Structures are given as structure tokens and as C-alpha cells.
Amino acid sequence: MIKTFTQDDLIRYIYQETTAEESIEIETALIFDEALSDSYNELSRTVGLLKQVQVKPSEGTVDRILSYSKSYDLHALR
Amino acid sequence: MRKYAISDSQLISQYKNGNEDAFTELVNRHKNKIYTTIYLIVKDTYLAEDLLQETYVKVVNTIKSGRYNEEGKFLPWVTRIAHNLAIDHFRKAKRYPMIVMEDGSNIFNTLEFSEDSIESRKIQQDTHALLRDLIKELPDSQREVLMMRHYMQMSFQEIAEATDVSINTALGRMRYALINLRKKMTKLNIAYDQNLYPR
């Protein structure tokens, strides 16, 4: 008998928080349960988009961070 | 989670021993995620830059003074620092995050693409900017869980403990966040073209 899974289970699966056994059960269920598969596709597409939504800090900010680290020992001596 | 040839823990060990190149790698590896975490809270690029610097000042001070002991969990640790600094800023300024749409003119939108057409890059940039706005429109509880899981790399159990709810509640909030984002994007007729969004 194929176990039933919820969208919350799918979210745990997408974020790799399921056990190895759970993952295999979910993957099996995805093959046979079209509604579950549709839910998985929707959720994973949205998560996939989130992975691409990032902004970058300026190079100047990064340079200041690295400079602070390099000059830390000088600060510490004061 | 992405696998690197040299782990964060190894880089930190090297950094503790005086290797500044290791620190450079560590900063570059996670700077976008941490900056995005801050930006989604404060919604101001210049303020986010300042808070990113403050975050890393604390990181440097903690590691170089020998007080770092977050073995294997560098990213959750540093994103918590960043998150707390951003929230503290609002408490001090007695302001709270406004849920507004951005006009796009002050965003450091430097997402990197490779070998894409100008048109598809423009579509991706517009979509990503819109998605950032939609994230900011989410109810606070949903946005908080989404940011903690996706950008701060906290587990749902850790999120539940940090927000004093059950793990089922945390998962439910994440579910609603993802469904709401999907609904809003569908309503705005945003294309889910898999050629534009390869996984």
C-alpha cells in the first residue's frame, strides 16, 4: 500500500529534511499519485525561483569587510 | 545544501590560523544570501550594505578573538547575526517594515546570467525583481519562515524553536508562503518557462 503524503511532507522533501526511508516512499508515491506529483512540481518550481532571487552587495562593501579583517590585529593591539 | 570542495569549517580553521584568503572565500561564498536576508527586511540597499558590514565585523571579532564555536553551522550563525541586526535597526529607529512595491530604481540587481539573450535576461530580471516584491508582501509570519528556511538555512525544527511554534505550524506557514507566491505570480501571468529557470 502506498503511503499518503501531504504538501508539508513535500516541502520537507524539497528542502532535504526527510529521512532516507521517507524520501524513497515519497519518490514512489510521486510516481503513482498524479495530484501529489502536480503539487510537488508547483512547490519545487516556486522554490527553484527563490533560489535565483538574490541581490549582491557592492564590491566596495566586500572590500571594506576584507580590509577590516586584514587590519584586525592592528585594531586589537590598540 | 550545496557541497563545496573545502567546507566552511575548514575555511574557518584556516582563517583562525591567519589565512586571509580563506576568509575571502568564506565571504564570497555566502555574501549574496546574507545580503538578501538583510535586504528583504530593511528594503533599502544602502542600509543593507551597512548592516552587512556590521554583520561581518561581528564575525571577524568573534572568530579572531577565539570565541567562535558554531561547528559546522557557519551560515545559520552568520545569517542570525544579520537578521538580528536588521530587526534591531527597526526597533531603534522605531520603524517597522513597510510592505510597499519598489520602483526598481534603487535595487542592486546584479544577478548573473550566462549566454542568455538580452530579452530572456530582461524577463528574468523583471521576474526576480517582482518576486522580491511579492516576498515582501507576504504576511510577516510567512515571510519570516520563508527567509529563515531559504536564506538563513535553518531547519524547520530550528525555525519552530526560534519562533516558539510547533514544527507543523512552521511547515504550514512555509506552505502558505509558497502557495501565496505561486498564486500571485500566476495572477500576474508570470511565465514559468523552464528554459528561463533551469533547475
pLDDT value, residue B194: 42
Q: Who's near B173: CB < 8 A, 6+ residues apart? A: B141, B142, B144, B145, B146, B165
pLDDT value, residue B93: 65
Is residue A65 pLDDT above 50, yes or no? yes
Q: Minimal Cα–Cα distance from A6 to chain B, Å?
A: 10
| ipTM of this complex | 0.81
pLDDT by residue for chain B (199 residues), tens only, comes to: 566 789 999 999 999 999 999 999 999 999 998 998 888 888 788 999 999 999 999 999 999 999 998 766 898 899 889 988 988 887 776 554 443 333 433 333 333 333 346 666 666 677 777 888 888 889 989 998 998 898 888 899 999 998 899 999 999 999 999 999 999 888 876 554 444 444 4
pLDDT value, residue B189: 65
B56, B135, B192: residue with CB nearest A65: B56
pLDDT value, residue B57: 96
Residues 15-34 of chain A with CB under 8 A from chain B are: 15-17
C-alpha to C-alpha distance for B52 and B67, rounded to whole angstroms: 20
C-alpha to C-alpha distance for B77 and A1, rounded to whole angstroms: 42
* Cβ atoms of B1 and A15 closer than 8 Å: no
Higher-scoring residue by pLDDT: B156, A77: B156
What are the CA-CA distances from residue B165 to residues B141, B144, B154 (Å)?
11, 13, 15
Task: Give tens-digit pLDDT for A12-63.
Answer: 999 999 999 999 999 999 999 999 999 999 999 999 988 877 788 999 999 9
Does A72 contact chain B (CB < 8 Å)? yes
Cβ <8 Å between A7 and B175: yes
Q: Rg of chain A over CA atoms, in angstroms?
A: 22
C-alpha to C-alpha distance for B59 and B34, rounded to whole angstroms: 12
pLDDT value, residue A26: 96
